[in-house]
Amino acid sequence: MENEKLIVGLDIGTTKICAIVGRKNEYGKLEVLGMGKAVSDGVDRGVVTNIDKTVHAIQKAVEEASDMADVEIGEVIVGIAGQHIQSKMQSGSIMRQPSEDEITVEDVRRLSSEMENILVPPGNRIIHVMPQDYTVDYEGGIKDPVGMSGTRLEADFHIITAQTTAINNINRCVRRADLTSKQLILEPLASSLAVLSDEEKEAGVCLVDIGGGTTDVAIFYENIIRHTAVIPLGGNIITKDIKEGCMVMQKQAELLKTRFGKAIANEANPNEIVSIPGLRNRPPKEISIRNLASIIQARMEEIIDIVQNEIWQSGYYKKLTGGIVITGGGSQLFEFQTGLDTRIGYPNEHLGKTALEDVKSPMYATSVGLVLAGFKSLDDREESYNKRIANGGVQKIAPKREFNAKDIFRNISDRLKSIIHDEIGDDSNY
């Protein structure tokens, strides 16, 4: 599908599994050709807990997207999330020969590749190695060292790891659905491509992606991702609170949340009541909208407090000129609690004309972002090739290599790809 310039994003979420087929139009905008979704019964807080149910949901979503776009789907860009995601800062350096004239793309790649071999906690694997600032011969604050002269090249890296078991289970589900995982991308990074502008990432912005099982946080400053975190609380925990607080069924609690829920109790009409059908031979149950809003607000305030703590710990609270961008609801409460400008992020800026209005909803920001990430990798590969030619490098670049040290998605490691490839085998026991 790469030759046709078609990219498929597969979002394996806690509440839904979504597949989107897209291509770039003549104006560089993303044109969505097909979308499919299925209920995600085999995923809990971003982690696959039931292989068979997840495979079935992936097949259903991909089949719907394939039929709508009228294309065969074989390769997908897959998102990964979950509370097992961890991140840390790490420094590294390499020495160059004094006879070498300029720092090349290969030097930058070699430095990043060495960072992929650092020790990580047992049972974890590196999924992203993202350079921050470079230092050449002890001169720091360099964004792109290619073309500069120097013998010692250093950099600070943002290292993101994921649980090996979680990675393997995702890959196993994708393979059993007769698909190939081309890339594995942290979901908040994908969402950032869909809803954040370059100006916001340059000025400083915090992306908060409120999912069903988790809330993902990603902080950008000077167009570089500086901090990531996954909070094990999301929309599902609010539904559970409503179920227990209002003493209703799970499906009724979800409907109450989506149709009548408010994040600020004082904005709810104290006289507004909604009637819920009772169980067999029992009278209907009356629910106060203000009481419902109080339940939602209490849990949202907890999530906001944790998000705010993450922002403070990152050290970028006073640098977030772009404020907070939320994919999901609750923007008013976020602005009130944090004191930062807040807006809801819609994946509209990069979308061309489409008959699929649903895809413009914040709930599909990650799915759209995964498709954009695939096209970004193609663009980065071409840029890397041109740089290699300009620096007298190798005249042919390997087609599977998608590592580009200038942007965040050049950090998807070849080592991870080879491990994924090695994992392919007999999975009849699953």
Q: Give the 3-state secondary structure of residue 134.
A: strand
pLDDT for res 358: 83
Amino acid at 11: D
What fold is seen in the domain 198-348? Nucleotidyltransferase; domain 5 (3.30.420)
Q: What would the pLDDT profile of 215-253 be if each residue is shown by its tens digit? A: 999 999 999 999 999 998 988 899 999 999 999 999 999
Residue 412 has pLDDT above 90, yes or no: no
Q: Which residues contact 315 (CB under 8 A, 6 or more apart)?
A: none
Q: How far is CA 199 from the centre of its chain?
A: 19
| Distance of alpha carbon 55 from alpha carbon 126, whole angstroms | 25
- The string of pLDDT tens digits covering residues 301-353 is 999 899 999 999 999 999 999 999 998 645 555 656 666 788 888 888 888 87
Q: pLDDT of 158-198, one tens digit each?
A: 999 999 999 999 999 999 999 999 999 999 999 999 999 99
Count CB neighbours of 44 within 10 A: 15
β-bridge pairing 324-327 and 205-210 = parallel
Residues 143-169 have pLDDT tens digits of: 999 989 999 999 999 999 999 999 999
In the chain, where are the structural domains located?
Answer: 198-348
User: Mean pLDDT, to the nearest integer, of 84-90?
Assistant: 91
